[in-house]
Structure 1
Amino acid sequence: MIARTFAAALLAASLAFTAAPVRAQENMTLSPKQVEAVKKVVRDYLMEHPEVLGEALEALREKMRAQAESDAQKMMEARKDDIFQNPDDPVGGNLKGDVVVVEFFDYNCGFCKQTFDSVWETIRADGKVKLVMKELPILGPDSVLASRVALVAKSQSQAKYDEVHRAFMRFRGRLDEKAIFRLAGESGMNVEQLKKDMASPDIDRQLKKVNELARSLEVAATPTFIVGDRILGSALDQPTLKQLIDNARKAQAKKG
């Protein structure tokens, strides 16, 4: 009914244009009076059917969402090696897993800490998932310091990284310099050597690379997860993460 009413309004407007001079029609231009006539038709219709504005806005949102998703998919395809196969990234779970979960995180992000145990429990319970950890310290200098310490640990061994990473994630409260070095020492690291190694250009390069990747994917918050072909900028509970992993596995099976 709404569509028919709107069509009738547009028809009335078009009929009004038939009285315009032939030259104006040939040039496909509207006189000021015709412009005002169109404005009045549209205004009257919208005043009579204001719900159309809501429908139009919802359609616009859906179009923008679909475009953003399409753009993200293209960027993920272009950067898939940086996302899933960067040898500098710490990894966990099953290194030969059939599904890869990627997490961008910050050690001072409360939601990252909140989901830490549930993410690992889900991955261990599944047994066939690889976790790729992306250090994205966006919450200030203390976060950057914590990531530098963790990456130095990674340069020594994945096992050492796991210890430091776990200690930082399970620390309640904000990690500051004092807490960072105390936890690193308790994890078995030589703190004096650690302070020297943090200045390594390799650490700068790794942090810059993750930051640049995050910008290209429009990742602006932590935690952000990539599961299959989906980017999710929110904390994930166990049932949700499990469902996403199952969906990714089914999608891969369909692709063959």
Structure 2
Amino acid sequence: MAIRTRTGLLTALLLGISTAMPLPAAALDDSQKQEFGAFIREYLLANPEIIEEMSQALEIKKEAESQVMAQAAISENTDAIFNDPNDMVLGNPDGDVTVVEFFDYNCGFCKRALSDMTSLLEKDSNVRFVLKEFPILGPDSLAAHRVAMSLRKLAPEKYSDFHIQLMSGDARATEAHAIEIAKGLGVDEAALIAGMEDPAIGDSIRQTYELANALGISGTPSFVIGNEAVFGAVGEEALLARISNMRECESTQC
């Protein structure tokens, strides 16, 4: 088998590109299969950058597929994503661009992203920032979010301070820790605990899980801006760029 022919076959196998004369595996005898397998191994060892290129191409393809799925979900669930009355809105409630964050109080990356949110809202007074309670990191997270959602109904004006305090620092967010923060802000403990049993809280959390699943969100933080789902703590500048693009061309990518 000529080297040029084998290289063409290898390219076709690795990158999924059709060749002018495809050779099905059944057309190879055992010795040819062994020879071809040895050639593939030798070629990849000599050119390991091909594996990296393939990995990058796969990631690009998966990202594109994820965005197609997310865009369809955003179109089908616009009100539930951007205008759910059970969500807390920070910043300007009448802002011209909305940023939605799915977060968990025990997510380390969410803690890092907190400063992105606060800085963004300080710099841009026309951003509407929606917080989606998305407890996915175990029972402590679920309990802490139930405290937060009870507080939002009892004293929405205190939610921002509560959110920042609970998200800041290294302490694990638990029910007890969340209640202590709420008490420190002057919220009645008995009313807070009673509010945690409201069935609407569980319904809201289930709806958020369903939305996240439709959007392809499996981790926190994740954001929705316009018709784009943004996965991970991408940083303040990346969020600001998308906000600027929304104003310029009504899309996160102009």
Give the Cα–Cα distance (whole angstroms) in 1 for the partners of residues 251 and 62 of structure 2.
29
Partner of 2:175: 177
Post-superposition Cα deviations, 1:92-131, rounded to whole Å, max 9, x if no partner, equal: 1111212111101111122212221331221231111110
Partner of 1:18: none
1:64 equivalent in alignment to 2:33: no
Aligned pairs for 1:170-209 (under 5 A) are 170-209=168-207
RMSD: 3.5
Between the aligned residues of both structures, percent identity stands at 32
Mapped contact 1:13–1:41 kept (Cα < 8 A): no
Post-superposition Cα deviations, 1:134-193, rounded to whole Å, max 9, x if no partner, equal: 001111222111111111122134313223222212243112333221111111111012
Q: Which amino acid in 2 is paired with 1:220?
A: S
Mapped contact 2:217–2:231 kept (Cα < 8 A): yes
**For structure 1, which segment, 88-97 or 49-58, has the greater mean C-alpha deviation from structure 2 after superposition?**
49-58
1:76 equivalent in alignment to 2:78: no
1:237 equivalent in alignment to 2:239: no
Question: Cα–Cα, structure 1 residues 36 and 216, in superposed 2: closer, same or farther, change >3 Å?
Answer: same
Partner of 2:87: 89
1:6 equivalent in alignment to 2:8: yes
Task: Structure 2: state its 5+ residue gaps.
Answer: 13-18
**For structure 1, which segment, 217-226 or 53-62, has the greater mean C-alpha deviation from structure 2 after superposition?**
53-62
Post-superposition Cα deviations, 1:29-52, rounded to whole Å, max 9, x if no partner, equal: x9x6x4549968976985786569
Question: Cα–Cα, structure 1 residues 233 and 58, in superposed 2: closer, same or farther, change >3 Å?
Answer: closer
Partner of 1:168: 166
Question: Cα–Cα, structure 1 residues 242 and 57, in superposed 2: closer, same or farther, change >3 Å?
Answer: closer
Aligned pairs for 1:1-80 (under 5 A) are 6=8, 34=27, 36=29, 54=51, 59-80=57-78
Give the Cα–Cα distance (whole angstroms) in 2 for the partners of residues 214 and 12 of structure 1.
45
Give the Cα–Cα distance (whole angstroms) in 2 for the partners of residues 106 and 181 of structure 1.
17
Give the Cα–Cα distance (whole angstroms) in 2 for the partners of residues 254 and 225 of structure 1.
12
Post-superposition Cα deviations, 1:204-226, rounded to whole Å, max 9, x if no partner, equal: 11111111111221211111112
Mapped contact 2:227–2:252 kept (Cα < 8 A): no
Give the Cα–Cα distance (whole angstroms) in 2 for the partners of residues 65 and 131 of structure 1.
25
Mapped contact 2:110–2:221 kept (Cα < 8 A): yes
Aligned pairs for 1:152-167 (under 5 A) are 152-167=150-165
Question: Cα–Cα, structure 1 residues 87 and 169, in superposed 2: closer, same or farther, change >3 Å?
Answer: same
Partner of 2:15: none
Give the Cα–Cα distance (whole angstroms) in 2 for the partners of residues 82 and 254 of structure 1.
20
Partner-residue secondary structure (3-state), 1:122 = helix
Give the Cα–Cα distance (whole angstroms) in 1 for the partners of residues 161 and 221 of structure 2.
20
Deviation at 1:227, TM superposition (A): 2.2
Question: Cα–Cα, structure 1 residues 63 and 241, in superposed 2: closer, same or farther, change >3 Å?
Answer: closer
**For structure 1, which segment, 176-185 or 42-51, has the greater mean C-alpha deviation from structure 2 after superposition?**
42-51
Partner-residue secondary structure (3-state), 1:189 = coil
Q: Which amino acid in 2 is paired with 1:161?
A: Y
Q: 1:224 aligns with which of 222, 239, 246?
A: 222
Q: Which amino acid in 2 is paired with 1:143?
A: S
Give the Cα–Cα distance (whole angstroms) in 1 for the partners of residues 216 and 181 of structure 2.
32
Q: Which amino acid in 1 is paired with 2:191?
A: Q
**For structure 1, which segment, 235-244 or 51-60, has the greater mean C-alpha deviation from structure 2 after superposition?**
51-60
Give the Cα–Cα distance (whole angstroms) in 2 for the partners of residues 108 and 219 of structure 1.
17
Give the Cα–Cα distance (whole angstroms) in 1 for the partners of residues 166 and 21 of structure 2.
69
Q: Which amino acid in 1 is paired with 2:8?
A: F
